[in-house]
Amino acid sequence: MRNFYKLKKKRSQKNTLGTHLAFSQRASFYIKKIIEELRMERENTIKTPTPLKIMQQLASDSPIFEINVLKKAIGILTYPALRTRPDIEFSVNVLSRQVSEPTLT
Protein backbone atom coordinates (compact mmCIF):
# COMPACT_ATOMS: atom_id res chain seq x y z
CA MET A 1 0.00 0.00 0.00
CA ARG A 2 2.93 2.31 0.57
CA ASN A 3 3.50 2.36 -3.19
CA PHE A 4 0.06 3.86 -3.80
CA TYR A 5 -0.57 6.02 -0.71
CA LYS A 6 1.37 8.19 1.66
CA LEU A 7 1.12 6.34 4.94
CA LYS A 8 2.05 7.65 8.35
CA LYS A 9 3.31 5.27 10.95
CA LYS A 10 1.24 5.73 14.08
CA ARG A 11 1.12 3.96 17.37
CA SER A 12 -1.36 1.19 17.94
CA GLN A 13 -4.91 2.48 18.05
CA LYS A 14 -6.89 1.01 20.93
CA ASN A 15 -10.20 2.85 20.51
CA THR A 16 -12.01 3.52 17.27
CA LEU A 17 -15.65 4.42 16.68
CA GLY A 18 -16.48 3.67 20.30
CA THR A 19 -15.04 0.16 20.16
CA HIS A 20 -12.08 -0.96 22.24
CA LEU A 21 -9.65 -3.03 20.19
CA ALA A 22 -7.28 -5.51 21.74
CA PHE A 23 -5.15 -7.87 19.68
CA SER A 24 -3.74 -11.08 21.04
CA GLN A 25 -2.53 -14.45 19.83
CA ARG A 26 -5.03 -16.30 22.05
CA ALA A 27 -7.34 -16.91 19.09
CA SER A 28 -4.70 -19.11 17.47
CA PHE A 29 -4.66 -21.32 20.57
CA TYR A 30 -8.45 -21.58 20.41
CA ILE A 31 -8.29 -22.61 16.74
CA LYS A 32 -5.63 -25.24 17.53
CA LYS A 33 -7.87 -26.57 20.30
CA ILE A 34 -10.78 -26.80 17.84
CA ILE A 35 -8.63 -28.68 15.32
CA GLU A 36 -7.57 -31.17 17.99
CA GLU A 37 -11.12 -31.60 19.31
CA LEU A 38 -12.42 -32.35 15.81
CA ARG A 39 -9.43 -34.64 15.15
CA MET A 40 -8.39 -32.70 12.06
CA GLU A 41 -4.64 -32.38 12.73
CA ARG A 42 -3.74 -34.25 9.55
CA GLU A 43 -6.15 -32.46 7.21
CA ASN A 44 -4.80 -30.35 4.36
CA THR A 45 -5.17 -26.59 4.28
CA ILE A 46 -6.21 -24.51 1.29
CA LYS A 47 -5.79 -20.82 0.45
CA THR A 48 -9.51 -20.09 0.20
CA PRO A 49 -11.63 -20.88 3.25
CA THR A 50 -14.38 -22.35 1.09
CA PRO A 51 -13.75 -24.44 -2.03
CA LEU A 52 -14.91 -22.84 -5.25
CA LYS A 53 -18.42 -23.82 -6.36
CA ILE A 54 -19.28 -24.99 -2.82
CA MET A 55 -23.03 -24.76 -3.41
CA GLN A 56 -22.88 -27.23 -6.31
CA GLN A 57 -20.75 -29.59 -4.24
CA LEU A 58 -23.14 -29.42 -1.30
CA ALA A 59 -26.09 -30.08 -3.60
CA SER A 60 -24.49 -33.11 -5.24
CA ASP A 61 -25.62 -36.68 -4.61
CA SER A 62 -22.49 -37.70 -2.69
CA PRO A 63 -22.85 -39.76 0.52
CA ILE A 64 -24.06 -38.09 3.69
CA PHE A 65 -21.39 -36.77 6.05
CA GLU A 66 -21.80 -37.56 9.76
CA ILE A 67 -24.31 -34.89 10.79
CA ASN A 68 -23.34 -34.65 14.46
CA VAL A 69 -19.68 -33.97 13.67
CA LEU A 70 -20.63 -31.30 11.15
CA LYS A 71 -23.04 -29.58 13.54
CA LYS A 72 -20.42 -29.65 16.30
CA ALA A 73 -17.80 -28.13 13.98
CA ILE A 74 -20.16 -25.35 12.88
CA GLY A 75 -21.15 -24.61 16.46
CA ILE A 76 -17.56 -24.46 17.64
CA LEU A 77 -16.45 -22.28 14.70
CA THR A 78 -19.29 -19.76 15.01
CA TYR A 79 -17.60 -17.74 17.78
CA PRO A 80 -14.20 -17.30 16.12
CA ALA A 81 -15.91 -16.62 12.78
CA LEU A 82 -17.86 -13.73 14.26
CA ARG A 83 -15.25 -12.39 16.69
CA THR A 84 -11.68 -13.17 15.74
CA ARG A 85 -11.59 -14.85 12.30
CA PRO A 86 -13.64 -12.94 9.73
CA ASP A 87 -11.78 -14.90 7.03
CA ILE A 88 -13.79 -18.03 7.90
CA GLU A 89 -17.13 -16.29 8.47
CA PHE A 90 -18.45 -16.91 4.94
CA SER A 91 -17.59 -20.62 5.06
CA VAL A 92 -19.22 -21.13 8.45
CA ASN A 93 -22.29 -19.25 7.25
CA VAL A 94 -22.64 -21.36 4.08
CA LEU A 95 -22.14 -24.61 5.97
CA SER A 96 -24.62 -23.67 8.69
CA ARG A 97 -27.29 -23.01 6.06
CA GLN A 98 -26.63 -26.37 4.39
CA VAL A 99 -26.40 -28.47 7.57
CA SER A 100 -29.81 -30.07 7.07
CA GLU A 101 -28.53 -32.12 4.10
CA PRO A 102 -24.72 -32.41 4.40
CA THR A 103 -22.54 -34.34 1.96
CA LEU A 104 -18.93 -35.52 1.86
CA THR A 105 -17.89 -33.14 -0.92
Task: For residue 68, give the nearest of 38, 33, 35 by alpha carbon.
Answer: 38
Residues 34 and 31: their CA atoms lie apart, in Å, by: 5
Query: pLDDT in tens for each of the 105 residues of the chain?
Result: 667 777 777 666 665 566 666 655 566 777 788 888 888 788 777 666 566 565 565 556 555 556 777 788 888 888 888 887 777 888 888 888 877 665 555
pTM summary value: 0.52
Residues 18 and 81: their CA atoms lie apart, in Å, by: 22
Segments making up each domain of the chain, as ranges? 24-97
